[in-house]
């Protein structure tokens, strides 16, 4: 009996030792597997992200140029540009109107170090866009235009350009698309009153002086916007804006074909009542509590407005069914139409509402 019990104890002890060894072996395998899998995942993510961005930058740098504007042989403005189209040796470049405005010579600096004098094919004050043509004897690849309407808030974007001049040409900054369809009022004539609304993309990718006119691209390397401006206040950080490429292409087509953007004309000079002082309202005989509408100060002879019977002193109340609240809004509505479009304009004349059908020219 004692021998049996001793044998049983030995068997149980050996079995316990075997189980302990198996558990230890299993733990070691799990630990090794866990560590290997974790390292593999981290390495894949980092490598993939780094490779994608650097490859996109490498392919995009040659499509970005520096724009140097001269007046009387003096350099007075520098900016950036994006290669828009290539026709054999003819290169078309997009930049901002404010980069080349007033220039009598524009030089284009390519990524390969070559600098060539270009020709301004046309520009547009309202959209702040310009088109430059350059003839080259080397290969240049244009950007592929993306679809800014399909861009998603939160996606990664890159801004490329020449901040602070040619010394920092080819600078790349990265951020996210912070917002779409932002409305930014701009003062076109520097009179302190906003007279146009720009519809823009918002990004926190760093945009500095000299980046103007350069590309905003997505991680597919597609051009989705033209960097144009930023909010430069001490209390504000990371608020840059780009003109959506869907808007840009339509303007480029007109500049390439006509050298300018052809917009419809009504043929009146007018003042927004919301912008008038009490003195001005009194002088024009406008009720002090009236805030909406446009007061017509003059009508051009032979214009669509005169042909439709609109008179000096009339107040435009609505344009094509939309109530008029400011001159800025009216101009946006007017420029949204095409030449030869028919529109209904409601005017107030001596307290009576009159509808005039006008064919825009």
The answer to whether the CB of 153 falls within 8 A of the CB of 177 is yes
Rounded CA-CA distance 160/148 in Å is 17
Q: What share of the chain is helix, strand, coil (3-state, %, to 5)?
A: 30, 35, 35
List 69, 212, 318, 326, catalytic entry: 212
Reduce the DSSP state of residue 284 to 3 states and report it.
Answer: helix
The answer to whether the CB of 93 falls within 8 A of the CB of 134 is yes
The DSSP code for 56 is H
**Minimal CA–CA distance to 59: which of 148, 176, 140?**
140
Rounded CA-CA distance 177/204 in Å is 7
Lookup: tokens for 111: 């990524």
212 is catalytic: yes
List 68, 123, 128, 151, catalytic entry: 128
Residue 282 φ/ψ, nearest 5 degrees:
-60, -45
Lookup: tokens for 31: 């630990």
The answer to whether the CB of 292 falls within 8 A of the CB of 315 is no
226-263: string of b/e by CB count within 10 Å (b at 16+)? bbbbbeeeeeeeebbbbbbbbbbeebbebbeeeeebeb
The answer to whether the CB of 84 falls within 8 A of the CB of 142 is yes
Rounded CA-CA distance 222/60 in Å is 9
The DSSP code for 349 is E
The answer to whether the CB of 247 falls within 8 A of the CB of 199 is yes
Rounded CA-CA distance 139/132 in Å is 17
Task: Give the rounded distance of the alpha carbon of 189 from its chain centre.
Answer: 21
List 68, 69, 77, 98, catalytic entry: 98
Q: How far apart are the first and last CA of the chain?
A: 120
Handedness of CA 110, 112, 115, 117 (dihedral sign): negative
Lookup: tokens for 215: 């590309």
68 is catalytic: no
Residues noted as catalytic? 98, 128, 212
């Amino acid at each position: 009996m004692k021998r049996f019990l001793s044998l049983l104890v030995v068997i149980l002890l050996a079995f316990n030792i075997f189980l302990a060894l198996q558990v230890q072996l299993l733990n070691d395998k799990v630990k090794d597997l866990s560590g290997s899998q974790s390292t593999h995942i981290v390495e894949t993510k980092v490598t993939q992200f780094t490779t994608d961005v650097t490859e996109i930058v490498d392919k995009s740098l040659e499509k970005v140029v520096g724009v140097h504007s001269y007046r009387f042989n003096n350099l007075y403005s520098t900016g950036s540009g994006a290669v828009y189209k290539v026709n054999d040796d003819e290169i078309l470049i997009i930049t901002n109107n404010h980069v080349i405005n007033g220039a009598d010579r524009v030089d284009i600096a390519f990524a390969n170090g070559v600098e060539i004098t270009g020709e301004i094919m046309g520009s547009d004050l309202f959209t702040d866009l310009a088109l430059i043509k350059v003839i080259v004897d080397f290969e240049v690849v244009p950007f592929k235009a993306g679809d800014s309407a399909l861009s998603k808030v939160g996606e990664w974007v890159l801004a490329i350009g020449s901040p602070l001049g040619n010394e920092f040409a080819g600078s790349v900054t990265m951020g996210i698309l912070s917002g779409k369809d932002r409305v930014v009022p701009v003062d076109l004539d520097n009179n302190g009153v906003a007279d146009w609304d720009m519809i823009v993309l918002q990004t926190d990718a760093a945009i500095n002086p000299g980046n103007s006119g350069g590309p905003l691209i997505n991680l597919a390397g597609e051009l989705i916007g033209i960097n144009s401006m930023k909010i430069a206040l001490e209390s504000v950080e990371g608020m840059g804006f780009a003109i959506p490429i869907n808007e840009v292409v339509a303007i480029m087509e007109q500049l390439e074909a006509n050298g300018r953007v052809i917009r419809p004309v009504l043929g009146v000079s007018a003042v927004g009542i919301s912008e008038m002082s009490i003195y001005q309202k009194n002088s024009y005989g406008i009720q002090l509590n009236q805030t909406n509408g446009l007061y017509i100060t003059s009508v051009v002879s032979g214009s669509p407005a005169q042909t439709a019977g609109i008179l000096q002193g009339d107040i435009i109340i609505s344009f094509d069914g939309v109530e008029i609240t400011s001159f800025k809004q009216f101009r946006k509505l007017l420029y949204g139409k095409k030449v030869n479009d028919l529109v209904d304009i409601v005017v107030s004349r001596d307290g009576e509402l009159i509808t005039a059908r006008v064919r825009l020219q």
